[in-house]
Structures are given as structure tokens and as C-alpha cells.
Structure 1
Amino acid sequence: MSRPKVILQVTASIDGRISLMPNTTMFSPIDESLKPFTISDKDWKYFDEKVKSLHKIDCYLEGSNMLVAENDKLRELPEFPGDTKNLYKDYLPESIVRREGRSTWTSVVDGRGRFRNGYKAYQDNPESYMLHLTSHSAPAEYLAFLQREEIPYLVSGKEKVDLVEAFNKLYKVLNVRCILTSSGGKFAGALIRENLLDEINILFNPAVYGGFQTPTLFNSPDINPPHILPNQLRYIESLVLESGCIWLRYEVIKN
């Protein structure tokens, strides 16, 4: 397998909703009236520590929708005045790749160049550093911004990130062997449809959220036999917590 192992770790309501409302991110404030319907910090910490203890993770990867909502106003960046050709090549400064003490990557899939706050990850975790996975459709000014900030990136795909190519680069160029993501919705849907997901860990919250537009565990193209088929899973283990939350762990059987 010339790609890293990919582990999904996500929380969801019993009806499979991964957020309370549409168009929210991990940074969105939660109304006090909704907090009783969310998973407790104690349960999340237990789930998080258990999943991480099962794998030697060297890349923490999220989809951009986890970090930037569709209706968020993007930071304006100065137009890049020069030849943009070199911007669309992988940018991996040796000083970052070989940074002393760095053992993991904190990464985002951002084919449109929307995550623009200059976050480098090592401020929160000295053992990690930020890495963007982007595409040839990303604006030149976004790539120039990443280079000015010395934030590494890999380029794959014409209109959106080619996850197969990007994961191949992570494996062969950066020696990444295990990816953990907590992004459900469109990103998890893309992973499952591309046969890139190896293990699923879901912590189900004993609550029903409902909603017509609220994202679900796997938002993906509809089944279209024989081209797009469902994925079968192989049961590994499960656990019921005192709160009534249920942790389910499955291996994904490849199509």
C-alpha cells in the first residue's frame, strides 16, 4: 500500500449528524441552550485518548469545512505580481521538514485556498507543524502567502485536491504512515468513495439532531451501481460509556 493508513475518529448524534446546525466549524460558538445535547469534554477526552493509543499517528488531517464555513469572509491577500508557475509546485522547505523536534504534521485539505490565518501548529504542539494539501485551482496569492509564512504545501489535482495523489506524496515524500482525521461530512464521504479509509471510529451521542441541511457522517455522491457501491465494514469492537454514548469501531473492507 503506497499510502498512509487512514483512521476516522468522529462524534455524531444517533441520527448521524456531525454538527448541531449547518455551516458551522469547530470554532463556531455553541448556544448555552444546546450544550446539554453535545458530547461532554470527559467523554471526548476518553474517546480521543483511546483512539490515539491504538495507532502511531504522524499526520492529523482535517477538511477545510471543519475550519472555515462556506459563508465566512476570507482574508484578502495581496495579488501576486510575478510568474506564478513555481507557486504550483510542492513547497517543502528543508528547515521545516527536518525541523528539530517535529514528529507529526497538522494538515488541512484546502483545494480552494480558504484557510488563510497563517496557523503553523507548533505554537500549540511543538512536535507538529502545519501542512496544506491544495490544488492547481488555488489562487496564486494564497500559495504566495503560504510561502511568505513558510507553511509547507503539496499540490495535487486540477480543480480539487486529488486525495490519492496527495496521500501518495505524503507516504513517499514525507514518510507519513498513519493519518487521523476527525472530519466527517464531505471529507469523510470523499475518503470512503475513493477507498482511502481504513478504520472508522464513531462516538454516538444519545441525542437526535435532525435537520434537512445539517451535515451527516458521510456526505458523498449517491450509489450508482456498478460504478459507485456501498462499503462493507468488519466489526472490531464497541463500548458503552456511562453517559450512554456508544463507541463503535470498524475496519473498512475495500471495494
Structure 2
Amino acid sequence: MPDLAAVDWSAILPFIAVGFAAQIVDGALGMAFGLINSTILVSVLGVPPVVASASVHAVETFTTAASGISHVLHRNVNWQLFLRLMIPGVIGGVLGAYVLSSVDAGVAKPFVMAYLACIGLYLLFRAWRGEVERREPRVIAPLGLVGGFLDAAGGGGWGPVVTSNLLIQGTEPRQTIGTVNTAEFFLTSTVSLTFFLAMGWKAFTLATVGLLIGGIAAAPLGGLLAKRVPARPLMAIVGVLLSLTSAWTVYQAVAQ
């Protein structure tokens, strides 16, 4: 565990900024905190994937708690959908953390990201056409299981996988984002505990401290933004973000 008394605070300022920006995006759009931070830790700083995932999930335990409270206060949560997502999500998260701690799960990541990029383009097309009709989602528990697994094994993915697929099924954007964010707290808490039991304190670095400070500072703002932004532009922004982040991840995997 980092010695906070000996921390060079100027060195972690970039991580505070990244954590703040990533949490603003995640809280408002229901995705990208894990993807943004894991990408920077692994691709820019050379942190091993298992350590990056453990660090990000430790931070998300706190940021998703603050973000979830914000969404609850702004009435952005569908509690029936929450329960149907949260339980299989936790199960999938434990399985994903175990796989990442034992084997290389990065092989499938480019294929998952290519799929999400296509989902993002489709959401963007629907927003452009004005198609934001409401429907009851049919595929929920399997979606939570897969989303939880990919989130733990890939260092991020719960929001992109679950939020985007629920929107495809016709759920209301504001409540979808709030519900997925709130359920993520239980997922990240379970995944963090699993990593801690498998790896101990060596999973957590000074970068974790910076991401935590920035993320907690930004977390209360996400629920307000999700409540204020209309459904059509919200769906469009989700589509753009999902397409760009997924395409960038695929490019990095192919370029290696």
C-alpha cells in the first residue's frame, strides 16, 4: 500500500485530473471510467493488466458509491432493473477477476471492443434518426453476467457493455445510466475484494490515490448531468464515446 506521508503530490496531479475527467464522463453517460483509466495505466505507464484492473476497481468502489448516491437522489434508478442486473453482474465479476488473476484474458478484448464500436455507431444512427422509443428489455441477467465478467477481466467494460445493450433494447437513457452506475458499486466492491484476496496490497499504487481523489471529487456531478441532458443527445453522446474508445482499443491491439 502506498505510504501517503511520502507521496510526491505533484507527481499524482495528472492522475487526479484523469480520474476527475473519467468520472464526469462515467457518471453522466454510464461508461468509460474503467476503460479510460485502464488504457492510460497499461498503454502509457506500462502497468500490468491485472494490477491496472485491481487499482481501477479499488477506486471505483468509492466513486461508484458516490455516483450511485447522486443518481438515487436525482431519481435516475429503476430498482427492478437494478436487482436483475446487480446479482448476475457480481457473479460475472468474481469469475472475471479469477480468470485475469490466473490466465491472459486479453485475447478476446479486441473482438469485444469491435462489437462495442458497432453498437456505438448504431446508437449514434438511432439518435440521428430520433429513434428513442421506450421498450421493456428482454435480455437482462445474461447481460449483467457478461458485463461483470468482461469488466473484471478487461479492466473496464461494465458500462459500455450493459448500458449500450440496454439502450439498444429500448430502455430510457437517463434511468439506464443511473441504474447501471448504481449497480456497478456492488460489482466493483466484489471484484476489488477478489483481487485483494488474490494479490494483497501490491495491486495498489500511487496512481490509485490520484484516480481516487479525482474520481470522488467528480462523482456527485454525474447524476445531475444525466438528469439534465435530454434523451436524444444523451444517446448520441453515448454512441460517439463508445465508438471512439472501442475503435482506439482495437487499433492499439492490432498495432502491437
- TM bin, normalised by shorter chain, reads under 0.3
Under a length normalisation based on structure 2, what TM-score does the superposition of the two structures give?
0.24
Under a length normalisation based on structure 1, what TM-score does the superposition of the two structures give?
0.25
Q: Which is greater in Rg?
A: 1
Which fold has the larger relative contact order, with Cα–Cα distance below 8 Å and residues 6 or more apart in sequence? 2
